């Protein structure tokens, strides 16, 4: 009897784990609990590269005007924190679309208020652009040097509750169907063109695993405190004056959007330019906008500058492959990460040797990222940061992605080129990551289960 | 105690069902049993459009020289069978890559032998081309007229056992990394270029749910019985002389390729031309090569000519999104279908009104197919069938696909354009169907579960 009960219990547990693990795309029970096994948070002021604790430590960074930078990755940005390999960091990831509904997404949260603060006489962050994302960081990874690989494990993502007590238990997000969207020149109805903001509500008590739209409005010209008028969404952090827009209530009534909490933009500082627009992704990661970049995954980044200089932002409650209209459900999340540094010398002979692009590992798969240009900063010369927005296409992105996947399999799984191409074709999937970020993306997915019975290269030792 | 055990048992069962249901893509236990509830097979000679049985009937077509056509869809092809809406048909789907290993894929199966038969003096089927696929049919659907929608339900797909007793319990397939592959100009190793055939083995007893590669060879010039030499894979049905090739054994050793039995090419006859190359897909379906087209799904086709003239072939044991190197694991399957005719008048006011492209319904999702050209036959003029191979790109395919998905949601789910674009962006996924068939494909997936609580348009009544 006991034995039978035990077997049943195990079957329940294993099936349930398998269910959660494989559900992925339409996960009905996303992990919303605080992860266990992570050390308690210590004072960030106590860490430096000079001394390393015997045990990994855990620090937290609250999102506020002096912990974020807005619109760029930069090798010159002063770090807000230095950590060692194996350390944990909990970061606020503050959405750059919070101004679409100040009351729900800014008001009452002093950190977010400090970021968005803008009056005729002062501005919390006046240095915005050339991109749009509010990025928390950078975090300096001690001992990281060009040629190393930085593994960033996403251990937890939680919706950041609205700071406004009127919206207790709720988190809000905005989807902007904007001028940079793929759909923008393909509107059937008037007015044409138009930009549309749809505000979504997320329950942050863990009771509901889907988002619902609550209202939408069409963008009207907005005037910022500097007196400039913005006929379109052409500047980051505009606070929309809701007396100028007409809210359409009850949009998408009865429609449930499955939550897919993930991070749109995170990465390390590129070496090619001092200020790099946060919008186009590249070898350094950045705004990849891959909806698989969620809890339980690790992204590997090639370190380009000393200390790596990791930053993250652009949190998403949900997004489909392509990010068609220009944005996800842009929201604020709290993320917990572990950084693991793989030194260049330790990569030799391992599965990760030669990885010079952002590589995502999920519990079930390896996901390789291709772009129109693998490194647009290098390929397009001095004007790269403007040119990239004129030349994007999915065809070269698939070329880049399939080449990377071939090379990954040839090295990591010890395949010949003939074997690699055959396997990619019959067992690998290519999806459209995004077509709205300048350097368009395609990701290639190769299931780990295919290699269970094959001797493959080892993983690297971590420092 | 009993109560607790009962709860555990239920949890096991429910979790397991959920696991199987959601696993989908990496389904570990594909349905290989014969479907129940389908009437017994009757003599196909007894059916005609003149009389309709009160109950649906079931016919079977064996794949042989006089039940298939090779390389084209055609409104002039004489039907091999006439059926009424609701009838069932079991069709052999014979792979056009069987000549890559005569011994394993042709020998001992008299039907397949009759198709491939080719000596200096006679040829089982001499009318091959301009495309490559062996298509079984056409099946004439009684009462089908232009403007109607033909629903084709895939009820069962079974690997067709090798006819050679030396290979009992096995089915074989071929992956050709060929000159039309996306990878072909991107080979790192010599000889460059090269074409590679990889032969895969499938267990057809139901014991193994994955395929394994057994050997590969590089294409060498082959001489057909008409004396022509084929330096590349440039003619359908070449029987490879294995004394001219060098077999590499043990390729992809230890690698398991999850089975994804599906149909690469099926569709109705287009109206635009008398003979239409079977390779580029279009509004009529054809060689869509969507790996989701498996058991439990329905494809809806706009009927273009009287009787619809449905044909199917190009069976696949497995393929990833993109079909990168040119082909799937091309194999022979036995498929059981039910045809359901939706008359044009019955479509008004339903979810399917306005669907003028192949639409796939799976248990969990609606999948819309976009192409570089929605109807390349019409768009590219008289030379369409050659031009299409020079102009393909994924960018317009995504444009076509996202427009179709928007329109499907606006009509079927009663959404405004603003709602449709927002929902597609945050909850719909776009993947690369294929980049090797001339008219490149992108498919858009929208989960049904999102609409559970929303009043949507009804499905049409079927005739």
Residues of chain A with pLDDT under 70: 1-35, 463
Q: What is the dihedral of CA B397, B399, B404, B405, to 10 degrees?
A: 100
Q: Do B322 and A398 touch (CB under 8 A)?
A: yes
Note the pTM of the prediction, 2 decimals. Answer: 0.93
Query: Going by DSSP bridges, is the β-strand pair A365-371/A359-361 parallel, antiparallel, or unpaired?
Result: antiparallel
pLDDT of residue B44: 84
The Cα B295–Cα B280 span in angstroms is 23
pLDDT grade, residue B35 (50/70/90)? low
Of B213, B253, B427, the CB nearest to A318: B427
Most A CBs within 10 Å, among B321, B370, B418, to test the A interface? B418
Give B14 to chain A, closest Cα distance, Å.
Answer: 9
On average, the pLDDT of chain B sits at: 93
Asked if residue B45 is part of any domain, the answer here is yes
* Cα nearest neighbour of A198 on chain B: B422
CB A294 within 8 A of CB A319: no
Q: Do B453 and A426 touch (CB under 8 A)?
A: no
For the stretch A254-270, what's the b/e string if a residue is b when 16 or more beta carbons lie within 10 angstroms of its beta carbon?
A: ebbbbbbbbbbbbbbbb
Chain B positions touching A8 (Cβ under 8 A) are: 5, 8-9, 12
Name beta bridge partners: A211: A257
Asked if residue B119 is part of any domain, the answer here is yes
Q: Do A428 and B454 touch (CB under 8 A)?
A: no
Asked if residue B205 is part of any domain, the answer here is no
Asked if residue B295 is part of any domain, the answer here is yes
Of A256, A324, A421, the CB nearest to B449: A256
Position of tokens 């509010």?
Answer: A134
Domain count across chain B: 1
CB B317 within 8 A of CB B202: yes
pLDDT of residue A31: 36
pLDDT of residue B33: 44
Give A34 to chain B, closest Cα distance, Å.
Answer: 24
How large is the average pLDDT for residues B198-225? 97
CB pairs under 8 A between A and B: 291
How large is the average pLDDT for residues B19-45? 57
Give B456 to chain A, closest Cα distance, Å.
Answer: 10
Helices and strands of chain A, counted as H and E runs: 8, 25
Most B CBs within 10 Å, among A423, A426, A437, to test the B interface? A426
How large is the average pLDDT for residues B436-440? 98
Whether A166 has its CB under 8 Å from any CB of chain B: the answer is: no
What single-letter DSSP state applies at residue B206?
A: S
* Cα nearest neighbour of B316 on chain A: A426
* Cα nearest neighbour of A177 on chain B: B422
Whether this model's ipTM surpasses 0.90 comes out as yes
Asked if residue A417 is part of any domain, the answer here is yes
Residue B438: is its pLDDT beyond 60? Answer: yes
Chain B positions touching A322 (Cβ under 8 A) are: 398, 402, 425, 428-430
List Cβ neighbours of A63 (8 Å cut-off, separation of 6 or more).
A91, A92, A93, A94, A111, A112, A115, A134, A136, A332
How large is the average pLDDT for residues B141-159? 98
Whether A253 has its CB under 8 Å from any CB of chain B: the answer is: yes
Asked if residue B221 is part of any domain, the answer here is no
Q: What is the extent of the structural domain holding A325?
A: 4-160+258-451
Whether B415 has its CB under 8 Å from any CB of chain A: the answer is: yes
Asked if residue B97 is part of any domain, the answer here is yes
How large is the average pLDDT for residues B328-350? 98
CB A352 within 8 A of CB A149: yes
Asked if residue B237 is part of any domain, the answer here is no
Residues 311-330 of A with CB under 8 A from B: 318-329
Residues 183-222 of A with CB under 8 A from B: 183, 186-189, 196, 198, 200, 211, 213, 216, 218
pLDDT of residue B193: 97
Chain A positions touching B318 (Cβ under 8 A) are: 426-427
Of A15, A320, A417, the CB nearest to B189: A417
CATH of the domain at B109: 2.60.120.580
CB A463 within 8 A of CB A342: yes
CB A335 within 8 A of CB A317: no
Report pLDDT digits (tens) over B378-397: 999 999 999 999 999 999 99
């Amino acid at each position: 009897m006991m034995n039978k009960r035990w077997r049943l219990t195990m079957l329940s547990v294993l099936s349930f784990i398998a269910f959660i693990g494989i559900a992925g795309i339409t996960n009905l029970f996303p992990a919303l609990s605080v992860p266990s096994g992570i050390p308690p948070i210590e004072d960030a002021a106590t860490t430096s590269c000079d001394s390393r604790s015997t045990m990994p430590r855990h620090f937290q960074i609250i999102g506020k005007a002096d912990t974020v930078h807005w619109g760029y990755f930069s090798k010159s940005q002063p770090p807000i924190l230095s950590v060692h390999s194996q350390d944990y960091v909990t970061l606020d990831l503050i959405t750059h679309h919070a101004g679409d509904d100040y009351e729900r997404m800014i008001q009452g949260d002093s950190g977010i208020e400090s970021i968005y603060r803008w009056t005729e006489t002062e501005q919390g962050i006046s240095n915005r652009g050339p991109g749009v994302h509010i990025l928390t960081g950078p975090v300096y990874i001690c001992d990281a040097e060009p040629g190393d690989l930085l593994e960033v494990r996403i251990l937890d993502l939680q919706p950041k509750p609205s700071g406004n007590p009127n919206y207790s238990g709720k988190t809000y997000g905005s989807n902007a169907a904007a001028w940079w969207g793929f759909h923008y020149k393909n509107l059937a109805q008037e007015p044409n063109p138009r930009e549309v903001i749809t505000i979504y509500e997320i329950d942050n008590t863990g009771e509901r695993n889907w988002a619902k739209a609550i209202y939408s409005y069409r963008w009207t010209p907005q005037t910022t405190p500097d007196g400039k008028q913005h006929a379109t969404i052409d500047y980051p952090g505009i606070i929309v004056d809701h007396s100028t827009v007409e809210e359409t209530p009850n949009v998408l009534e009865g429609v449930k959007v499955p939550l897919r909490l993930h991070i749109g933009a995170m990465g390390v500082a590129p070496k090619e330019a001092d200020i790099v627009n946060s919008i186009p992704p590249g070898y350094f990661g950045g705004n990849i906008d891959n909806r698989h970049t969620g809890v339980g995954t690790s992204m590997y980044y090639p370190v380009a500058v000393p200390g790596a200089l990791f930053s993250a932002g652009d949190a998403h409650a949900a997004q489909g492959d392509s990010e068609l209209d220009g944005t996800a459900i842009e929201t604020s999340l709290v993320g917990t990460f572990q950084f693991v540094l793989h030194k260049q010398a330790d990569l030799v002979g391992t599965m990760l040797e030669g990885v010079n692009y952002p590589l995502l590992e999920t519990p079930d798969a390896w996901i390789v990222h291709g772009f129109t240009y693998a490194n647009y900063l290098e390929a397009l010369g001095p004007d790269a940061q403007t040119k990239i927005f004129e030349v994007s296409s999915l065809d070269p992105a698939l070329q880049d992605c399939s080449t990377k996947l071939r090379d990954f399999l040839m090295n990591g799984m010890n395949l010949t080129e003939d074997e690699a191409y055959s396997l990619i074709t019959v067992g690998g999937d290519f999806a459209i990551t995004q077509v709205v970020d300048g350097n368009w993306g395609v990701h290639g997915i190769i299931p780990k289960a295919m290699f269970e019975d094959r001797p493959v290269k080892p993983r690297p030792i971590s420092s």
